[in-house]
Amino acid sequence: MTSAISSFGRDLLALTKPRIILLLLVTTVAPMYVAGRPSVALLVVVLVGGYLMAGGANAVNMYFDRDIDDTMARTKLRPIPSGRMSPAAVLAFGIALATAATFLLARFANVLTALLALGGFYFYVFIYTRWLKRSSPQNIVIGGAAGAFPPLVGYAAVTNEVDLTALFLFAIIFYWTPPHFWALALLKQKDYGNAGVPMAPLVWGERETMDQMLWYLFILIPLTVLPVAFGALGWLYLGSAAILNAVFLGAVLKLRATAEWKGIAWWLYRFSLLYLALLFLAMAIDRVIARP
């Protein structure tokens, strides 16, 4: 009995995709320190609410993707395709998490924060998962905006508004997403092909996808610097961003120039996760130091 309960608990946790949420929480909390000095109580509310909302979105995503998850090696062991949980139970769990998150953020942060978090939920579930994912190679470009909502949520929790700084943080994640995700898509083409998902490498080809990764990076790099130009961030952040951008750009250029690119693509995918986390941590540290 204890083993069954433990297994069920692990499945519920797996539905939320905790490793993915960890990065989302970094990009939620760091903007709170860019915006001001959040209290510990507000920090806890946003962390818990952010986890519940993102976890709910991930669970509902698994409900909608249940028909293709068992065709892909990296998803066939999820609770629904493996038969450990019913689709209805997963959907109910996801909706319950999102409902709890909306109440928590609206009651203990502010209504704008709750609406932004809920907007990210709906964008991910309906715009990306239900519409774009299976219909267009631009799926991760437009649909990836869902992953750019967390900075808005964190910033609004402190300021109760969305200003130019918050929009720049949104844009940074928006333009980071294609080079990050397409590095994985290059490696998982067979899986996506089996599932009928028109990811960029399958539609445009590998070289065109790599070229597109570079073009998005050319937009991303100036965006990471612009908040310094209007005083939202300072020199410590600028130095960190310069180093991270140089490594990111070098990796994409190496990817494009190498015939045997799979090892580089894996490295690039993993580094891109670290890149975003370190970039946002640098923002928070920069502002904490600037406001002694």
Which of 11-15, 40-44, 91-95, 160-164 has the least mean pLDDT?
Answer: 11-15
Contacts of 243 by beta carbon, 8 Å cutoff, 6+ apart = none
Asked if residue 126 has pLDDT above 80, the reply is yes
Asked if residue 285 has pLDDT above 80, the reply is yes
Average pLDDT, integer, range 209-224:
97
Structural contact between residues 152 and 116, judged by C-beta atoms closer than 8 angstroms: yes
In 3D, which of 221, 210, 197 has the Cα closest to residue 129? 197
Asked if residue 144 has pLDDT above 90, the reply is no
In 3D, which of 195, 181, 61, 38 has the Cα closest to residue 120? 61
Find which of 105-114, 193-202, 281-290 is predicted with most confidence, using mean pLDDT.
105-114
Distances (CA, A) of 279 to 10, 22, 240, 275, 286: 31, 15, 7, 6, 11
Q: What is the pLDDT of residues 8-38, one digit of tens each?
A: 888 888 889 998 899 999 999 999 999 999 9
Structural contact between residues 166 and 155, judged by C-beta atoms closer than 8 angstroms: yes
Asked if residue 73 has pLDDT above 80, the reply is no
Average pLDDT, integer, range 210-224:
97
Q: Is the entire prediction scored with pTM above 0.85?
A: yes
Average pLDDT, integer, range 156-169:
96
**Number of domains forming the structure of the chain:** 1
Which of 28-32, 44-48, 197-201, 207-211 has the least mean pLDDT?
Answer: 197-201
In 3D, which of 238, 250, 255 has the Cα closest to residue 187? 255
Average pLDDT, integer, range 258-286:
96
Given this model, what pLDDT does residue 180 score?
A: 96
Contacts of 231 by beta carbon, 8 Å cutoff, 6+ apart = none
Write the CATH number for 214.
1.10.600
Q: What is the pLDDT of residues 81-96, one digit of tens each?
A: 888 889 999 999 999 9
Contacts of 66 by beta carbon, 8 Å cutoff, 6+ apart = 80, 81, 87, 90
Asked if residue 117 has pLDDT above 70, the reply is yes
Given this model, what pLDDT does residue 254 score?
A: 96
Given this model, what pLDDT does residue 4 score?
A: 58
- The domain in which residue 199 lies consists of 2-290
Average pLDDT, integer, range 67-83:
81
